Structure 1
Amino acid sequence: MTVQTVILAAGMGSRLGRSLPKPLTELNDGRSIMQQQHDNIRAAFGDDARITTVVGYRAEAIVDAFPDVHYVHNDRYDQTNTSKSLLRALTATGKGGVLWMNGDVVFDPRVLGRAIELIEGDRSFVTVNTAKVSDEEVKYTLSEDGFVKELSKTVTGGIGEAVGINYISSRDKRAFIRQLNRVADQDYFERALELAIVEDGLQLRVMDISDLYAVEVDFAEDLERANLFV
């Protein structure tokens, strides 16, 4: 099975205070954030895994660093959020399910190994950490039947954080794309997932990786924490 993966890397990442796109930030082991993502994808799914990267800010720097993957350009990267970058990617990936991740996530290679069963079963999921619930992160709640009910930064009473690694199944993809089209330019992709849950009956599972590391690098202190693991 060829796994389709998408890396969202169009943003400016200004909070980290670097001139290069954030995914090119070097880690203590000498790899960039994006290189460790590529390594993790290949380790889990093999060399046949198809990687599509959404670029915008200083796109040429990422393309030059990784010339052998597929690219989708978000030329409105400075006016839109992750919903519109992901929309561009999903419409370029055909009918199959897609694994996607934010381009600033440093994570344990075992995360994707844990996802294989869900992906092979073509079941939509979000990866979560229940060990902490920070106000500034995307949080979630569950319905009585165990599927995601709410998913946003404004969730009250969240039981965990979304990590930024997710999968949409082939059967849920069309509804998700429709909702990505519908949401505002500045919305995160999580808003479209919430709408698909309410309006399209999307059953979104959670994959708990609280025992593994995953760090979204927004600030210098996040990078310091990520470097403790690599």
Structure 2
Amino acid sequence: MRLKTVILAAGMGSRLGRSLPKPLTELSDGRSIMRQQHDNIRAAFGDEAQITTVVGYRAEAIVDAFPDADYVYNERYDQTNTSKSLLRALNATGRSGVLWMNGDVVFDPRVLGRAIELIEREQSFVAVNTSKVSDEEVKYTVTPEGHIKELSKTVRGGIGEAVGINYIARQDKRAFMHHLFRVGDQDYFERGLELAIQHDGLLLEPLDISDLYAVEVDFAEDLERANQFV
């Protein structure tokens, strides 16, 4: 599958306390977080999958580690959040649908296998975990029809968490990009999705991966948990 994928890796990742960009953090199996992501993408979609990485902080370290990927540079990485990094990447990927992920997510390779059916029928989705709902994570609610209604860290009554792996279908991409442009520099990309739901009728499906692992590595304890799976 000639799928276009994006990895968001521009941030400084200061909470983990490492000098290198967080996606280059080594896991217990010897791979970096980003190498695991590349391996998972290739396993699901083959060598033809196009990987575009948004870089900023210590960009050269990531480029040196993955010279065959495509790159978009966010020179304002220290002043903007994921909404603006993702917008730059979507601008570079033409009109096709795009799978994207946060550059600090360690996840079961079966997650992407589960996503193939939705991608093939051009259904926008957010991968979710319904087994826990933490206050500091991005949470969601759904409409009576089962589509995402709210998606943010401030959601009340959330029924699960977004895990940082998502797809925007080609027919939804333009509206989503419009809202990513509109939101504030410090907004997460989830705000753009919320606005597209509210103003453009975006039908965003929750892809339940609660039975598989997906760990967003922000702190040392997250890394320890991720290393229990790889």
Give the alignment's TM-score, normalised by structure 1: 1.00
Report 1:1-230 matches (<5 A). Answer: 1-230=1-230
Which AA in structure 2 matches 1:47?
D
Q: What's the offset of the Cα at 1:196?
A: 0.2
Counterpart secondary structure, 1:31: coil
Count of residues paired in the alignment: 230
Counterpart secondary structure, 2:170: coil
Which AA in structure 1 matches 2:51?
I
Counterpart secondary structure, 1:163: strand
Q: Supply the distance in 1 between the matched residues of 2:130 and 2:146 (Cα, whole angstroms).
A: 14
Q: Supply the distance in 1 between the matched residues of 2:145 and 2:42 (Cα, whole angstroms).
A: 34
Q: Supply the distance in 2 between the matched residues of 1:13 and 1:200 (Cα, whole angstroms).
A: 33
Give the alignment's TM-score, normalised by structure 2: 1.00
Q: What's the offset of the Cα at 1:145?
A: 1.1
Q: Supply the distance in 1 between the matched residues of 2:174 and 2:132 (Cα, whole angstroms).
A: 33
Q: Runs ≥4 in structure 1, deviation > 6 angstroms? A: none
Consecutive unaligned residues of structure 2, counting only runs of 5 or more, are none
Q: Supply the distance in 2 between the matched residues of 1:175 and 1:44 (Cα, whole angstroms).
A: 28
Q: Supply the distance in 1 between the matched residues of 2:47 and 2:157 (Cα, whole angstroms).
A: 41
Q: What is the RMSD computed on CA atoms of the aligned residues?
A: 0.3
Which AA in structure 2 matches 1:127?
A
Residues 127-166 of structure 1 deviation map (CA, whole Å, 9 limit, x = unaligned): 0000000000000000111100000000000000000000
Q: Supply the distance in 2 between the matched residues of 1:109 and 1:63 (Cα, whole angstroms).
A: 23
Which AA in structure 2 matches 1:113?
G
Which AA in structure 2 matches 1:13?
G
Residues 142-194 of structure 1 deviation map (CA, whole Å, 9 limit, x = unaligned): 01111000000000000000000000000000000000000000000000000
Consecutive unaligned residues of structure 1, counting only runs of 5 or more, are none
Counterpart secondary structure, 1:141: strand
Q: What's the offset of the Cα at 1:123?
A: 0.5
Q: Supply the distance in 2 between the matched residues of 1:125 and 1:93 (Cα, whole angstroms).
A: 18
Which AA in structure 1 matches 2:99?
L
Q: Supply the distance in 2 between the matched residues of 1:92 and 1:123 (Cα, whole angstroms).
A: 21
Q: Supply the distance in 1 between the matched residues of 2:95 and 2:142 (Cα, whole angstroms).
A: 28
Q: Supply the distance in 2 between the matched residues of 1:216 and 1:177 (Cα, whole angstroms).
A: 24
Percentage identity across aligned positions?
A: 82
